[in-house]
């Protein structure tokens, strides 16, 4: 067997992963063409590189098909119920940082907190006969957050595209989405609730709790974590 390390297959996060590992003496490289999702790990024996989308990595970790993986905190906690039982967070890598937030139209001058949103949602339902819609692709995280803060009378609607535009397009009244600077929210005339931070996310190295390790794999894992200064 071989220890399998999964990292994002393309984009800025892949480049930042390569830089982070290289700074610790472990080189990640793509094999073949840009269309081939395979690669190599140099600097530690017995470790194979697996290139996946960041969204696929939580599933592969939970299933035990990869031993280690780099992906966003938000993706692990959204996609994996009871995530702590299925993966172990080893280290935040210091990049890919973003906040999952609740945002409402700037024109809602009387809505600044979650309590305000709860009252606005009740008033909206009474006035319109249906629940206030919150567009998001983070259904698990947002539902748990709003439940914990006593917000009711809302309905989550799925958004896999430009979530910030759903309010302007009249497909939602509020949103819950990832933001780094807030500029896109402001450009779409949205404001973040003062207590609307759901989760702070960053690229994180996770270890699977389900992936099997024999004695040789255990040595390779220990060598890799040692090189990364995580032991």
CA angle 141, 155, 85 (to 5 degrees): 20
What's the pLDDT at 229? 93
CA angle 18, 24, 27 (to 5 degrees): 40
Q: What percent of the chain has pLDDT over 90?
A: 90
For the four alpha carbons of 156, 161, 163 and 167, in that order, the dihedral sign comes to negative
CB-CB contact of 141 with 74 (8 Å): yes
pTM above 0.85, yes or no: yes
What's the pLDDT at 161? 78
What's the pLDDT at 162? 86
How would you class 117 by CB atoms within 10 Å of its CB: exposed for 0-12, middle for 13-18, buried for 19 or more? buried
Ranges of residues in the chain whose predicted pLDDT is under 50: 36
**What are the Cα distances from residue 45, in Å, to 1, 42, 225?**
12, 7, 12
The whole-chain average pLDDT of the chain stands at 94
């Amino acid at each position: 067997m071989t220890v399998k390390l999964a990292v994002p297959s393309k984009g800025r996060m892949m480049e930042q992963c390569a830089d982070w590992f290289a700074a610790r003496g472990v080189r990640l490289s793509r094999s073949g063409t840009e269309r081939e999702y395979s690669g190599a790990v140099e600097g530690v024996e017995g470790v194979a590189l697996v290139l996946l989308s960041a969204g696929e990595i939580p599933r592969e970790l939970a299933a035990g098909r990869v031993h280690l993986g780099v992906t966003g905190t938000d993706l692990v906690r959204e996609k994996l119920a009871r995530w702590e039982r299925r993966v172990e967070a080893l280290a935040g890598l210091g990049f890919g940082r973003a906040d999952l937030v609740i945002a409402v139209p700037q024109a809602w001058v009387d809505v600044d907190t979650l309590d305000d949103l709860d009252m606005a949602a009740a008033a909206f339902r009474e006035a319109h006969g249906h629940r206030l819609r919150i567009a998001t692709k983070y259904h698990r995280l947002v539902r748990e957050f709003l439940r914990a803060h006593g917000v009711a009378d809302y309905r989550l609607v799925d958004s896999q595209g430009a979530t910030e535009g759903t309010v302007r397009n009249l497909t939602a009244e509020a949103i819950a989405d990832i933001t780094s600077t807030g500029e896109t929210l402001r450009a779409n005339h949205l404001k973040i609730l003062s207590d609307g931070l759901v989760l702070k996310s960053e690229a994180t190295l996770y270890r699977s709790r389900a992936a099997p390790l024999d004695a040789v794999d255990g040595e390779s894992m220990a060598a890799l974590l040692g090189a990364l200064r995580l032991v």
